[in-house]
Amino acid sequence: MKHYLSLKDIDSLDNWVEEARDLKEDPRKHKNLGSDKTIGLLFFNNSLRTRLSTQKAAMNLGLDVIVMNFGSEGWALEYADGTVMDQGTSEHIKEAAQVISQYCDIVAIRAFAGLQNKEEDEAEKVLNGFKKYASVPTVNMESSVGHPLQALADAITLAEQNTKARPKVVLSWAPHPKALPHAVANSFVEMMHLQDADFVITHPEGYELNPEITKSTTIEYDQKKACENADFIYVKNWSSYSDYGKVLNQDKNWTMTPEKVGNAKFMHCLPVRRNMVVADAVLDGDQSLVIEQANNRTYAAQIVLKKILEQ
C-alpha cells in the first residue's frame, strides 16, 4: 500500500513535479478519478494552507471530503501499548485508525511536534500509529519531523522558477518569538538532496538541524556570506534541535532583508511574521514567491492523492 509519509515515498521527484505541473494546467482533468471514494482530513493542529489546499486537491479529483478537528471534535487518543486506560485518554490509536479506515479510502493527518521531548516527537506516534493500524493509505499533512506536502510544493515552485542548470539555493534560519518545529526545514533539506543544486544552510550556532537529515550539506554560519549570489533563499525559523525545542535567541540581525536577498527569489512556507522573519520590502517585492508556493500546495496534494488513487 502506497503512503505519503515523507519525501522517501516519491519514486522520482522530477516525474512527480512534472505531473503536478500538468495538473496545474487543468486541475479538474481527473475529476472522476476519486468518484465514490472518501478522504478523511484529520487535524490535531491548526492549519490554513494545508486545510484548504488539500480539500481543494481532493475535490479537484472528485473525492468526497470529510474534515475533522480531532482534538476538539473527537476523543483523546492513547498511543502506548498495554496501558490500563483509567486516566485521560478515551480511545486507543489501534481502534481509531482501524475505525476511520472503515469510512475513508485515504486518511490524511496533521500532528505537530510538541517540542517537549525529542524521542517522543521523533517516534511520530500519531502518524506512525495511523500508518501501522489504518488499513488505508495515509498522507502526512505535517508531522513532528516532516512536512512533505510543503516540500513537494516547494519543488514545483523551484522547477517553475529556476533557469539554471545548478542554482544556488540557501535555507536560512530567521528569528521568531515562539519555539517552532523543524518539520518544514527537514523536508526542504530532504527535497533539496533530490535536486542538483548548490545547497547551503545558514543559521546561528546552536540551531543545527538533525545531522541525520542534513548529512553533508554545507552549513555557513555567516548569513550574508551564505546569501551571496544565491538564486533562491528559503527562510524559515526553527527552534534548537540539540537543546531541543528551545529558543536560543531572537537576533533580528538574522531577519531577511532586501540587501541579503540581492537578486535571489525569496521563498517561505507561510504563515510568516513580517519584519521579524523577513522585511516587508522582501515580501511585497517582485522576488517573493510565497503566494505561488501556497498555490502549488494544491497541486502537490493533488499529485500525491492521484498517485494513491491510481495504485
Q: Which residues bind its own copies (CB under 8 A)?
A: 28, 31, 36, 38, 40, 43, 46-49, 51-53, 55-56, 59, 64, 66, 68-69, 72-75, 78, 81-87, 89-92, 94-96, 98-100, 102-104, 177, 250, 270-276, 280, 283-284, 290-291, 294-295, 297-298
Nearer Cβ to its own copies, position 89 or 217? 89
**Closest CB 233 distance from its own copies, rounded Å:** 17
**Closest CB 178 distance from its own copies, rounded Å:** 8
**Closest CB 154 distance from its own copies, rounded Å:** 15
Nearer Cβ to its own copies, position 33 or 68? 68
**Closest CB 145 distance from its own copies, rounded Å:** 21
Handedness of CA 40, 138, 289, 211 (dihedral sign): positive
Nearer Cβ to its own copies, position 107 or 197? 107
The residues near 54 (Cβ < 8 Å, ≥ 6 apart) are 41, 108, 139, 141, 149, 297, 301
What's the rounded Cα separation, in Å, for the pair 260 and 76? 46
Which amino acid is located at 204 in the chain?
Answer: P
Nearer Cβ to its own copies, position 54 or 143? 54
**Closest CB 165 distance from its own copies, rounded Å:** 30
- For residue 98, the tally of other CB atoms under 10 A from its CB is 15
With vertex at residue 278, the alpha carbon angle to CA 163 and CA 239, rounded to the nearest 5 degrees, is: 105
Nearer Cβ to its own copies, position 56 or 118? 56
